[in-house]
């Protein structure tokens, strides 16, 4: 089931009204990423204000999620002696059959869900359509045992205003994607659920005698037991394989826990079978009178004909679902933004919740999560898409800027009644580094340049470690370093001055920094280095597009939202314990908590969960956040060193479908055993490659989508390679060049003209066939011809739908789908446990074969 955006507060208000001291606590499952962490902070603040007890459980991956379902969630079910309750999934489970994975919707249970209600808030796409349009209880206790139910308040998977929670189920919080973009997928899914089961292997060449027997068998088959649950249509491990592979984390066949491509849904058996003598399956299959005598009744189609039509209709609906899953990965509205919308509906907005939202949204951009999945970000976007980082993303950021103005009104000295409205430093183009007063905790808009941790580093180091500048100035080479020095010289900043702490730089230099950057950035192709010059001080009039966000904690600290996102991410990826050991060159995070073997990654996941609580505390305690700044600096120094080494030593190879490199030596190799840290390195390298392609060829490769990149990091302790596949940009991010867009538009117009011509020719042929049939007697062959003609009339529609799907999925990251195909075709021992499906673990010995097979797959849409 899915909850529309307009009813986002309905479930929470019901929880608030029905909560009492004996109610079970709300269980919150949180992914180990900054956006989900910020969303968790917002939700827990709401629950605390309403005195609703809750429990937070960090989830490292699918194995951890299944374990939580077995040990924590299943005991909550009423059939297991529990009292039901609410489970909130933040960034976990949106891509899989959540009910089956958690064990609350299985074949063994006579009743499903048992009063356990799962709220799913996830930014990853594609959705698992079983969660979106299914996920509701199908049986309830009645006078004669278990009886089928029609869930009140749910229409075609959509929750209505009069829906009453409490019976359990899977509820997806819709950010607008489901209602606006999944209409065809919804119709196809529901049609497949309602279809009767038909044997696809039946021999159609049998005579009429066998057809009559089959027809009788279909009609007279007894009604199945109501308690019999339909087979789950989401990907599950087969029973015989699970018994063989028990205890082996690396299987010869890929674990299906994280598969984003489920099987087709099957019809619930309690609905019964459709009688062949009943109404037709669809309007296109309706029989018509073809007898030359009006009094003669129309001849009903045979069981063979109906079966063919049903199988054809099933295949059509299945192709719609498969096309949706095959489009590739993407991201939609961040979790923290959805949680702030909930707080806004409840009237609970304040600066603390707004700041958590801003940090979560900013971290999404920093991790390369966009409408085309994990991919290299671009500077200016053409924004042809309505998705995240498209027009919808722009609206969200503008709403956040409006919220900052609303909740942080200017002081009297900055008001319109004061003649000097440009008094505030940020309105003069100066990056704010201090609070306005000892008690200042306000959020401000700031003209942030694309530097890294500028308030906590020197200007030189901040520019040197900026991924944006590294790619465009070629920082990895000596000529690139000289180019950076020349830019600073043109700006009138000496190396001595720019290598001291930015907060201690000369005030005159800081005042003129933005003006000088705007003046000289175009000379070096740095058009987006600083936001647009909106320095008139009129906050109400200027949108300040591209401006960043800054918050102060009195005299203790002033940090930007990007600073906080970078530090929190570093805590999750490196660990707080690294802060005091950075000077020790022998420090090796792989040696911590490794007293026993960790082949399946259980100990590693436990270590990551421990980091979650450090990051959770750092979001609220500013002193702990400041203490973790050296960790973030250490991580980004390692990214610069490793990326520079790979490029200088020409260790990036160009395969058929992507470029690839392997990190298996060097002082920082252990830092990149964490998928998120490795993803940051891949994005740094990918942006550098994209810039090289643009300079050498004048455009990006792969039809304007950029060249995909695969980066493998060696985890020597566990004997595996962690592999990350990133896209090259494009699609909804507007990363393609104008020539590619023009060529694509011309091809689409030519195809449209050809379709129109074929449509006219086929219509003419069909008219001739109809005229001929009027003179002939009708039989089953006529029905077949009618069906074929109707099928041919829909070919144009199918072609248009296919073109629409291709356009929608243009540039998307398809590494998750490609990984599955490779595992099914090879004997590689693979473990896919990350919620990010472009991340996979492969045994060290199987890496070469895995990459060789992967190079033959389509990895970007």
Angle of helix 780-793 versus helix 795-808 axis, rounded to 10: 40
Give me the pLDDT at residue 275, please. 32
Q: Output phi, psi for 159, to 5 deg.
A: -75, 130
Q: Which pLDDT belongs to residue 529?
A: 87
As a whole number of Å, the CA-based R_g of the chain is 30
* CA dist., res. 574 & res. 674, Å (int): 8
Instruction: Name which residue leads in pLDDT, 278 or 451.
Output: 451
d(CA 509, CA 505): 7
pLDDT digit string, tens, across residues 713-771: 999 989 999 999 998 754 333 333 444 445 556 666 777 777 777 777 777 777 777 77
Distance from C-alpha of 607 to C-alpha of 588, rounded to nearest angstrom: 14
Is the confidence at residue 416, as pLDDT, over 90? no
Tell me the range of 227-231, 533-537, 837-841 where mean pLDDT is highest. 837-841
Sheet with 443-446, strands from edge to edge, namely: 443-446, 548-552, 558-560
Read off the pLDDT band of 827 (50, 70, 90). Answer: confident
pLDDT value of position 8? 94
Residue at token pair 């750092």: 618
And the tokens for 30? 């949180």
Q: Is the pLDDT reported for residue 258 higher than 50?
A: no
Each residue's pLDDT tens digit, 545-577: 888 999 999 999 999 999 999 999 999 999 876
Instruction: Answer for the pair 95, 837: CB distance below 8 angstroms, yes or no.
Output: yes
Above 80 in pLDDT, residue 669?
A: yes
Residues sharing a CB contact under 8 Å with residue 504, sequence separation 6 or more, in sequence order: none
Both tokens of 231, joined, read: 């087979």
Residue 179 has pLDDT above 70, yes or no: yes
Q: What ranges do the domains of the chain cover? A: 1-197+229-270+308-349, 738-771+784-800
What mean pLDDT is predicted for residues 41-52?
95
Residue with tokens 């992914």: 31
Task: Determine the pLDDT at residue 515.
Answer: 87
* Whether the predicted pLDDT of 226 surpasses 50: no
835-846 confidence digits (pLDDT tens): 998 999 999 999
Does residue 332 contact residue 177 with C-beta atoms inside 8 Å?
Answer: yes
In the predicted model, what is the mean pLDDT of residues 250-264?
48
Give the pLDDT score at 390: 65
pLDDT of residue 201: 63
Higher pLDDT, 695 or 698: 695
| Across 330-351, average pLDDT | 94
Tens-place pLDDT, residues 418-458: 444 445 666 667 888 889 889 999 999 998 899 999 999 99
Residue 266 pLDDT class (50, 70, 90 cuts): low
Instruction: Quote the pLDDT of residue 98.
Output: 92
Q: Could you count the other beta carbons within 10 Å of the beta carbon of residue 289?
A: 12
Q: Taking 80 as the threshold, does the pLDDT of residue 144 lie above it?
A: no
pLDDT exceeds cutoff 60 at 594: no
The confidence score (pLDDT) of residue 706 equals 67
Inter-residue contact 704 to 730 (CB < 8 Å): yes
Q: For residue 582, what pLDDT is reported?
A: 47
Gap between the Cα atoms of 39 and 50, Å rounded: 17
Convert the pLDDT of each residue in 456-511 to its tens digit.
999 999 999 999 999 889 998 899 999 999 999 998 888 888 898 988 888 888 88
Whether the per-residue pLDDT at 541 is higher than 50: the answer is no
The whole-angstrom separation of Cα 592 and Cα 634 is: 18
Three-state SS annotation for 326-375: HCCEEECCCHHHHHHHHHHHCCCCCHHHHHHHHHHHHHHHHCCEECCEEE
225 C-beta neighbours (distance < 10 Å), count: 11
Of 71, 223, 73, 95, the C-alpha closest to 147 is 223
Cα separations in angstroms, 802 against 179, 445, 796, 809 = 20, 44, 10, 11
Q: Is the pLDDT of residue 219 over 60?
A: no
Q: Beta strand pairing status for 653-654 and 659-663?
A: antiparallel
| Predicted confidence (pLDDT) at residue 698 exceeds the cutoff of 70 | no
CB 590 within 8 A of CB 717: yes
Triad 468, 658, 660: Cα angle to 5°: 75
Distance CA 769, CA 760 (A): 15
The percentage of the chain sitting over the pLDDT mark of 70, rounded to a whole number, equals 70
Identify the top-confidence range among 122-136, 199-213, 737-751. 122-136
Give first-to-last CA distance, the chain, whole Å.
29
Token pair for residue 385?
């898409």
Percent of the chain past pLDDT 90, that is, above it, reads 40
- pLDDT at residue 207, as a whole number: 44
What is the rounded CA–CA span in Å between residue 292 and residue 296? Answer: 8
What is the spatial distance between Cα 818 and Cα 829, in angstroms, rounded to a whole number?
A: 15
- What local confidence, expressed as pLDDT, does residue 458 receive? 92
pLDDT at position 255, please? 45
469 touches 475 (CB < 8 A): yes
pTM: 0.82
How far apart (Å, rounded) are the C-alpha atoms in residues 89 and 338?
13
Mean pLDDT of the residues in the chain: 78
- Provide the token pair at 419: 């003649």
Q: Is 583 exposed, middle or buried (0-12, 13-18, 19+ CB in 10 A)?
A: exposed
User: What value, to the nearest 5°, has the Cα angle with vertex 714 and ends 710 and 720?
Assistant: 100
The pLDDT score that the predictor gives to residue 641 is 94
């Amino acid at each position: 089931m899915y909850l529309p955006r307009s009813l986002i507060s309905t479930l929470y208000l019901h929880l608030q009204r029905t909560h009492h001291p004996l109610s079970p606590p709300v269980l919150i499952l949180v992914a180990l990423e900054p956006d989900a962490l910020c969303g968790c902070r917002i939700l827990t603040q709401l629950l605390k204000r309403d005195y609703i007890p809750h429990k937070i459980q960090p989830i490292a991956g699918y194995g951890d999620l299944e374990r939580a379902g077995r040990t924590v969630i299943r005991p909550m079910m009423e059939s297991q002696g529990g009292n039901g309750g609410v489970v909130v999934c933040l960034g976990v489970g949106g891509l899989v059959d959540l009910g089956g994975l958690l064990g609350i919707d299985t074949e063994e249970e006579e009743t499903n869900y048992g009063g356990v209600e799962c709220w799913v808030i996830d930014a990853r796409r594609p959705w698992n359509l079983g969660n979106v349009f299914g996920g509701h209880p199908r049986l309830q206790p009645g006078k004669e045992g278990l009886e089928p139910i029609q869930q009140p308040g749910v229409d075609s998977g959509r929750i209505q205003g009069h829906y009453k929670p409490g019976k359990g189920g899977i509820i997806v919080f819709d950010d607008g994607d489901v209602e606006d973009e999944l209409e065809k997928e919804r119709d196809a899914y529901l049609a497949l659920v309602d279809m009767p089961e038909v044997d696809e292997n039946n021999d159609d060449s049998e005579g009429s005698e066998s057809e009559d027997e089959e027809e009788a068998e279909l009609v007279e088959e007894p009604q199945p037991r109501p308690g019999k649950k339909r087979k789950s249509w989401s990907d599950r491990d087969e029973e015989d394989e699970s018994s063989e592979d028990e205890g082996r984390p690396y299987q010869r066949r890929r674990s299906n826990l994280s598969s984003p491509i489920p099987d087709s849904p099957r019809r619930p058996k309690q609905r019964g079978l459709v009688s062949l003598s009943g109404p037709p399956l669809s309007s296109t299959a309706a029989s018509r009178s073809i007898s030359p005598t009006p009094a003669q009744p129309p001849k009903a189609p045979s069981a063979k004909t109906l079966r063919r039509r049903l199988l054809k209709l099933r295949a059509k609906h299945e192709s719609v679902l498969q096309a949706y899953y095959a489009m590739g990965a993407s991201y939609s509205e961040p979790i923290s933004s959805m949680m702030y919308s909930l707080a806004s509906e409840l009237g609970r907005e304040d600066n603390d919740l707004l700041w958590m939202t801003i940090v979560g949204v900013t971290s999404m951009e920093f991790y390369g999560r966009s409408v085309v999945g994990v991919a290299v970000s671009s500077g200016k976007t053409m924004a042809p898409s309505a998705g995240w980082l498209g027009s919808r993303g722009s609206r969200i950021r503008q709403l956040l800027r409006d919220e900052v103005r609303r909740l942080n009104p200017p002081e009297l000295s900055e008001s319109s009644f004061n003649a000097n409205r440009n008094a505030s430093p940020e309105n003069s183009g100066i990056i704010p580094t201090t609070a306005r007063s000892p008690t200042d905790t306000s959020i401000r808009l700031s003209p942030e340049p694309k530097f890294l941790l500028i308030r906590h580093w020197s200007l030189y180091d901040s520019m040197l470690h900026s991924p944006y500048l590294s790619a465009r100035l070629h920082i990895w080479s000596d000529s690139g370093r000289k180019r950076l020095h020349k830019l600073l010289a043109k700006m009138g900043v000496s190396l001595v001055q720019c290598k001291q702490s930015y907060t201690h730089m000369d005030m005159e230099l800081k005042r003129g920094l933005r003006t000088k950057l705007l003046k000289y950035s175009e000379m070096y192709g740095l058009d987006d280095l600083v936001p647009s010059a909106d320095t008139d001080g009129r906050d109400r009039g200027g949108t300040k597009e591209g401006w960043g966000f800054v918050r102060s904690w009195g005299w203790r600290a002033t940090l930007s939202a990007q600073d906080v996102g970078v530090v929190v991410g570093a805590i999750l990826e490196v660990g707080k314990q690294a802060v005091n050991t950075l000077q020790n060159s022998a420090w090796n995070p792989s040696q911590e908590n490794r007293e026993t073997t960790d082949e399946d990654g259980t100990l590693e996941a436990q270590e990551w969960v421990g980091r979650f609580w450090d990051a959770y505390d750092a979001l609220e305690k500013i002193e702990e956040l400041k203490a973790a700044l050296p960790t973030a600096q250490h991580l980004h120094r390692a990214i610069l060193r490793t990326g520079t080494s790979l490029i200088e030593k020409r260790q990036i190879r160009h395969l058929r479908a992507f470029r690839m490199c392997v990190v298996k030596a060097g002082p920082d190799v252990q830092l990149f055993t964490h998928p998120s840290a490795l993803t940051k390195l891949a994005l740094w390298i990918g942006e550098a490659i994209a810039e090289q392609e643009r300079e050498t060829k004048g455009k990006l490769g792969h039809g304007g989508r950029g060249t995909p990149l695969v980066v493998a990091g060696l985890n020597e302790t566990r004997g595996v390679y962690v592999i990350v596949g990133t896209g090259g940009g494009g699609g909804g991010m507007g990363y393609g060049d104008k020539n590619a867009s023009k060529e694509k538009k011309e091809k689409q117009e030519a195809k449209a003209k050809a379709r129109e011509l074929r449509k006219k020719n086929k219509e003419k042929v069909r008219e001739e066939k109809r005229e001929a049939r009027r003179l002939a007697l009708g039989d089953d062959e006529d029905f077949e011809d009618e069906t074929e003609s109707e099928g041919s009339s829909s070919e144009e529609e199918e072609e248009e739908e296919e073109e629409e799907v291709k356009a929608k999925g243009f540039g998307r990251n398809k590494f998750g789908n490609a990984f599955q195909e490779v595992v099914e075709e090879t004997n590689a021992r693979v473990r896919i446990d990350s919620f990010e499906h472009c991340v996979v673990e492969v045994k060290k010995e199987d890496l070469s074969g895995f990459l060789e097979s992967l190079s033959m797959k389509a990895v970007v849409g």
